[in-house]
Amino acid sequence: MSVFSFPRTINEKAARTVAGVVALTGVVALAADAQWLLIPLAYGFIARVLAGPTLSPLAQFATRFAAPRLGSPKEVAGPPKRFAQALGATITTLGAIAYVAGAGTLADVCLALLVIAATLESVFAFCLGCHAFNALMRIGVIPEAVCVECANLALRTQRGQVQ
């Protein structure tokens, strides 16, 4: 597997650990008026989109140390998680640019959106990006070939059996 690839499946416990740290970092950034934290957050998201856990210290910690201590892994499809990471990369990059440009309100809005999404993932295992990915598959924007496992998830969701 090359450095710049994303796994077909990932351990949901690792993803939720990463989301928990992201949510906490976002809360600290908002509470301490530390919008500069958007810069390392953006790096982390971009690194995870490009290379899965390989180039992200947080993902390495979650994958190698935290998740194995949380019990048996729960494997989930990788492409929706990558899509969710891309959404996080977009929000944090926009927020970082806003911070550098002196647009503090926009940076705070980006942080707030990030905290909401990351908290939903880490606490409730509800991945907004994954559900958006699924909806885009259902309407044909994302072809089934991108994620065969997800096509099965789409069928389960249509039957009312959400993952």
| pLDDT, mean of each 10-residue run, the chain (163 residues) | 75 93 97 98 95 88 88 89 96 98 98 98 95 92 84 50 43
Q: Does residue 83 fall inside a structural domain? A: yes
Question: Do the domain assignments include residue 17?
Answer: yes
Domain count of the fold of the chain: 1
Owning domain of residue 34: 9-124
Q: What pLDDT, on the 0 to 100 scale, is given for residue 146? A: 85
- Alpha helical stretches, state H, the chain: 12-31, 38-51, 57-61, 78-101, 104-124, 128-138, 148-158
Give the three-class secondary structure for 4.
coil
- Considering the domain boundaries, does residue 64 fall inside one? yes
pTM of this structure? 0.86
Asked whether residue 157 is domain-assigned, the answer is no
pLDDT of residue 159: 46
Residue 138 lies in a domain: no
